[in-house]
Amino acid sequence: MSITAASLYRDTGNFFRHQLITIVLMALLTSFISVLIGHGLTPDADQMSILNDGAASSATSLMEMVQNMSPEQQHVLLRASAAGTFAALVGNTLLLGGMLSLIPMVSAGQRVSALRAIGTSAPKLPGLLLLTFLMTLIIQLGFMVLVVPGVLLAITLSLSPMVLVNEKAGVFGAMRSSVRLAWKQMKLIAPAVILWIVAKLIVLLLASSMTVLPVNIASVVLNGISNLISAILIIYLSRLYMLLR
């Protein structure tokens, strides 16, 4: 059977429309959890204020700023960066696990809530957490080299979660299988992933217009929108993988 982008977009739109409330609640719930973890692990305002002290505040580049920092400032910056990274990692993993549980359960005719979908995914979460961490690390390294390698890695690794969950493969086996599958389906996957990247960048740009809201509420809203975009991509890729099996 021939798989077309039009049919995939149509199937994705239909699923998203019929499960809109559940997906929105899942996006907001995972966003709230992510923000809560970040808030709990991030150094308090007094500790963060020391980052503005000394020569570091007048640095013209990130590298120069870090080099000009005192050991105490570097420790605070490291804690803040680690907290943000860990919070995002947990939130993304919960969203991924919840969506990958929601899709087959709904397809089987079951009525599923956001909480039930996330709870059902619990056995898969450790593997998805490791996979999400490795994918994020590899893709970010690709973007540090040049934009094109980062985009290419994001495309070729995009089916890894679906392989991990459905094929009971290991993390590295899932990544290898994803590269093989995605390379053959580049025309179907590349536009969707590139559109996802652009949409996420637009959400980042929206952050500057959310200054009227309290910081934590703005973070939940922006992360929720970002999660909603990711959920749409997960539906699209899951549908594609289902047809390829």
Q: So where are the chain's domains?
A: 5-244
- Mean pLDDT of all residues in 151-162: 93
208: CB partners within 8 A, 6+ apart: none
**Is the per-residue pLDDT at 39 higher than 90?**
no
| Residues 201, 5, 163: CA angle, nearest 5 degrees | 75
Least confident of 20-29, 48-57, 220-229: 48-57
94-109 tens-digit pLDDT: 999 999 999 999 988 8
Q: What is the pTM of this model?
A: 0.89
